[in-house]
Structure 1
Amino acid sequence: MGRPREPAAGAQQDPENGSRRPTHDPRQGLLPGREPRRPRRAGASRARPPERGKVSRSPASPVPKAGFARLGLGPAVLRAVADAGYRAPRPIQERTIPAVLRGRDVLGLARTGTGKTAAFALPILDRLTERRAPGPRALVLAPTRELAAQIAGEFRTLARGTGLRTATVFGGVPERPQIAALRGQPDVVVACPGRLLDLLGRRLVRLERIETLVLDEADHMFDMGFLPDVRRILAALPARRQNLLFSATMPREIRALADRMLRGPLVVDLTRGGRLETIEHAIVPVEERAKRTALDRLLAEPGFASAIVFTRTKHRARRLAHQLSEAGRRAVALQGNMSQSARGRAMRGFRDRTYEILVATDIAARGIDVPGVSHVINFDMPGTPEAYTHRIGRTGRSGCDGKAYTLATRDDSEMVARVERRLGTPIPRLRTEGAGPGRDRSGPALRSRPRGSRSRGAGKARRSRW
């Protein structure tokens, strides 16, 4: 998708048959009816530049803003940013925050672990602090309960000291506390589509005050069949609102949704190119019966701290977690048949290192941010190239390095080829002794990172034929 042309100053956007997208004045960057942002203080004037050939040493010379301050965020949010330990904006934040502050629609494409949540949370909170009003005024839709809880937690962290409140709405837990929170008119609601539609149908949530809508992990919404629910929610929102859509991939269906939903958006695409700069990843050719042996070798390699191991089925996740626990590993399963409280305990235990291994189905592959995960191991090959990207994105987050290995049988060769085409580069093969399949050519250890590797891999690594 190419970047759309900027509208001319003063031009009005065509409503296109009653579309619910907001218009904005490019000269001011404001939603209709909003007050201008932070007018210059009385008596303040622009500093006069020094004459050519002279150096100005006046103490009154303006000091260039640094870090998040240069993005236009206000003092209250900047204090919360500093308290949260954020020092410098990530690329997705630097590219999108100023546009969101101006009220513009944004389509943000970036791989997982790149700071997408703060990219929309910070400007939303900043705008909510400027003009107080009954809520909810911002709605964030997420595909999974775990991701919704994580997003709400980040909103609360970044809203400390502002008085802004966030409520969560998702299934699997009692609805009464959520209904009570909604009656308190929170400023931000983070929701999964199913529970939100249920409460909307019973008139227990009001959405007519929503000013900003965020669809996070929009591609996963489609994967899980949520797009019809999303469209029903869109129909219940005010026509004049800001829309922000964030996704790690852009399948055809999400592109069509973006075209209908966004008006003259800023498009920021940081997904181009196949290099995964902070992730050392490799394919491990293996016989099905030897997967467990290969897994043990990978978990025993130097530098292991914690791992997410992905399986294809819920039953396999439960069984593998039990087997690893019986072998003395601190492992726990995370899969869809678990109650929300059990899933919450598993995630908390993995975050605080009570467990060192999380054995999960794809429910945990999108958006979950656990710092310090050193390894991701695909015990079963992902079902799509996009799932591969999302799974291995659980490591190498926030600029840290990580390793990702995929145990692939001969039956997986077609999917391996599809993933390589999607990445635009071959994935190195890593051979572990006793894993098979087939004969291997002897040779030096492969470096499993497109730009060069730091590690020789697990066990004795050799070149593989496929």
Structure 2
Amino acid sequence: MATTVQQNSNHSISPMKGTKSQIIEAKKADDQGWKSKLNIPQKDTRLKTSDVTDTKGNEFEDYCLKRELLMGIFEKGWESPSPIQEASIPIALSGRDILARAKNGTGKTGAYAIPLLERCDPSKNELQGIVIVPTRELALQTSQICIELTKHVGCKVMVTTGGTNLRDDIMRLYEPVHVIIGTPGRLLDLMNKGLVNASKCGMLVLDEADKLLSQDFKGMLDNIISHLPNDRQILLYSATFPLTVEQFMRRHLNNPYEINLMDELTLKGVTQYYAFVQERQKVHCLNTLFSKLQINQSIIFCNSTQRVELLAKKITELGYSCFYIHAKMNQQHRNRVFHDFRQGMCRNLVCSDLFTRGIDIQAVNCVINFDFPKHAETYLHRIGRSGRYGHLGIAINLITYDDRYALHKIESELGTEIKPIPKVIDKALYVAECGQEDPEEEQEKKMARRDVKGKQ
């Protein structure tokens, strides 16, 4: 298929002769020709919130992207840019540094992956782009997205994280690699060993930048940047930015373009509730929620790895399917759990805060904080696992007497309202099919009503 489309592409850039209308008609025919050959997934007709629909009306084709990249974008099921993609893609393509704030689940990965892959030249056998993320699972997810997007472009994408065999990475680096996606520790190790040559790497992306600039990775990013050329481009993306970002910005960014789409911190599609319970009532309360809610997939958060395993055991004993994942598990086991949960092989996943960063599983419509977090930032990232890409979801918090101050503090800091849980939760708040029309049908009805009004 790729070969056929390439021929079409070559044909399209040859000089066209004829009248202006003939040229326009020829271009339309050419567009329809290559698009009709694409393997585009079924259209997602679920209702979306203004977090992703409040756009200027741009299309991916407006950015003069390579046709082969557009093919990957459309085959990924991405129809048009989200607000963060509209704001970010043209600036990133111009080569300017970016500091971007946007909510979890609004398309940040596409906002940097598209310009990164557009600027990548697969004919050059050199590293051209690096994406750094804070967790191994997020690295795997991001690399998979990039591999799918570049399917027709031919850029070679490699993922490297701690907890995997270093020898495998070394063997992989003998082959051409254009883009590396990895966690800071492993990437720096490969650079210091002289295995990764970043001297011609023109683009560095920090995803979940606030976490990468925290004490957990102190000094690593400065060391990684020292391996890059002076004229590199740096893109920072996150939902929250601490003061450390300002210091980093002054040291490494050159007149960055600032994007802030955070008119509010929480996603519009996520409804938040709390249930006031005693510690010993939590499992019973969870059992009640499972029986009453229409859960597609749920992620349940605990504050320690020990409690993750204990709760997963209890949920299994109650007769519900359940996986668990935390940072102390063997990496291969973690990869298997992550993969299988994404494939929908299990309805419920119990985890620690390992899973709060960037993990995008569209089927998750319910997040439960079995243990309530202490910090607003953690809470924000946890509930952002539901309501991905403008869809609907609920977040339910089990609150004990000791959590009451943290609840008020988080509500205040995020400027959000966490409501007491009602006896019956309206399914329309978190179940996509419940009483929602196909947006195209709804649009047609609106236009029909307008026509009737006009005739009257």
SS at match of 1:370: coil
Name the CA distance, whole Å, in 1 between partners of 2:203 and 2:271: 37
Q: What is the alpha-carbon distance in structure 2 between the residues aligned to residue 418 and residue 219 of structure 1?
A: 20
| Alpha-carbon separation, structure 1, partners of 2:391 and 2:383 | 13
Q: 1:223 to 1:329 in 2, by over 3 A?
A: farther
Describe the shift of the 1:181–1:83 C-alpha distance in structure 2 as closer, same or farther (beyond 3 A).
same
Cα distance in structure 2, aligned partners of 1:323 and 1:188: 43
Alignment match, 2:406: 415
> Alpha-carbon deviation of 1:183?
2.3
Q: Percent identity?
A: 33
- TM-score computed with the length of structure 1 as normaliser: 0.78
Partner residue in 2 for 1:114: 106
Hey, what does 1:396 align to over in structure 2?
A: 387
Q: Which amino acid aligns with 2:82?
A: R
Once the two structures are superposed, the pairs formed by residues 127-146 of structure 1 within 5 Å of their partners are 127-129=119-121, 132-146=123-137
The aligned residue for residue 332 of structure 1 is 323
Secondary structure of the corresponding residue to residue 374 of structure 1: strand
Q: CA deviation at 1:319?
A: 0.9
Deviation at 1:134, TM superposition (A): 2.1
Q: Which residue of 2 aligns with 1:225?
A: 216
8 Å CA contact 2:297, 2:347 repeated in 1: yes
Match of 1:68 in 2: 60
- Return the offset for 1:80: 1.1
Note if contact 1:67-1:89 (Cα within 8 Å) is conserved in structure 2. yes
Task: Give the Cα separation in 1 of the matches to 2:321 and 2:214.
Answer: 31
| 1:43 Cα deviation after fit | 7.2
Distance 1:396 1:127, change over 3 A: same
Deviations 1:67-91 (A, max 9, x none): 2101232211111111211111111
After superposition, give the CA deviation of every residue in 1:169-226 in whole Å (9 maximum; x if it has no partner): 1111111111112222300011111112222222222111110000011112244611
* CA shift for structure 1 position 279: 0.6
Q: How far, CA to CA, are the matches of 1:149 and 1:231 in structure 2?
A: 23
3-state SS, counterpart of residue 104 of structure 2:
coil
Give the AA of the match of 1:273.
Answer: E
TM-score normalised according to structure 2 size: 0.80
Question: Does the Cα contact within 8 Å between 2:103 and 2:267 map onto a contact in 1?
Answer: no
- The answer as to 2:278 corresponding to 1:287 is yes
Partner of 1:97: 89
From 71, 83, 94, the counterpart of 2:75 = 83
Residue number in structure 1 paired with 2:334: 343
Which residue of the partner structure matches residue 314 of structure 1? 305
Q: CA deviation at 1:402?
A: 0.7
| DSSP-derived class of the 1:154 partner | helix
- Asked if 1:248 corresponds to 2:223, the answer is no
SS at structure 2 position matched to 1:316: helix
Secondary structure, in 3 states, of the residue corresponding to 1:277?
A: coil
- For residues 339-382 of structure 1, what are the alpha-carbon distances to aligned partners after superposition, in whole Å with 9 as ceiling and x for unaligned? 11110111122112221111000001101111210110001111
For residues 215 and 393 of structure 2, the distance between their equivalents in structure 1, rounded to whole angstroms, comes to 28
- Pairwise CA distance, 1:276: 2.3
Which secondary structure state, in structure 1, belongs to the residue aligned with residue 324 of structure 2?
Answer: strand
Q: Superposed, which structure 2 residues align to 1:8-407 within 5 Å?
A: 60=24, 67-129=59-121, 132-223=123-214, 225-407=216-398
Map of 1:454 onto structure 2: 429
Give me the whole-angstrom Cα distance separating, in 1, the residues matched to 2:226 and 2:263. Answer: 33
Segment of structure 1 superposing worse, 63-72 or 244-253: 63-72
> Contact 1:143–1:224 (CA<8 Å) still a contact in 2?
no
Equivalent in the alignment of 1:53: none
Could you say if the C-alpha distance between residues 454 and 190 of structure 1 is closer, same or farther in structure 2, counting changes exceeding 3 Å? closer
Deviations 1:74-122 (A, max 9, x none): 2111111112111111111111001111111111111211111111111
Contact 1:330 1:354 survives alignment (8 Å): no
SS at match of 2:190: helix
Determine the C-alpha separation between the residues in 2 that align with 1:227 and 1:195.
14
Amino acid at match of 1:213: L
Partners of 1:332 and 1:355 within 8 A in 2: yes
8 Å contact 1:318–1:333 — kept in the other structure?
yes
- Provide the rounded CA distance (Å) in 1 between the counterparts of 2:268 and 2:63: 25
Q: Structure 1 unaligned segments of length 5 or more: list them.
A: 1-39, 49-56, 433-444, 457-466
**Per the alignment, in what secondary structure is the counterpart of residue 311 of structure 2?**
helix
Aligned to 1:461: none
Distance in 2 of aligned mates of 1:60 and 1:402: 44
Q: Which position in structure 2 is the counterpart of 1:54?
A: none
What is the aligned residue count? 392
Verify the 8 A CA contact 2:365 2:430 in the aligned structure 1. Answer: no
- Give the counterpart letter for 1:454 in structure 2: L
Q: Write the distance in 1 (CA, Å) between the matches of 2:176 and 2:283.
A: 51
The 1:137/1:274 distance shift into structure 2, 3 A limit, reads closer
Task: Say whether the 8 Å CA contact 1:71–1:94 is kept in structure 2.
Answer: no
Distance in 2, matches of 1:393 and 1:407, equals 17
2:266, 2:380 within 8 Å by CA — same for their partners in 1?
no
Q: Per-residue deviation at 1:447?
A: 8.3
The one-letter code matched in structure 2 to 1:429 is P
Q: In 1, distance between residues paired with 2:215 and 2:369?
A: 20
Following TM superposition, by how much is the alpha carbon of 1:274 offset from its aligned partner in structure 2, in angstroms?
A: 4.3
Report if aligned partners of 1:169, 1:178 keep a CA contact under 8 Å in 2: yes
Look up the equivalent residue of 2:344 and give its one-letter code: R
Alpha-carbon distance, 1:298 to partner: 1.8
1:437 aligned residue: none
Q: Which amino acid aligns with 2:382?
A: R
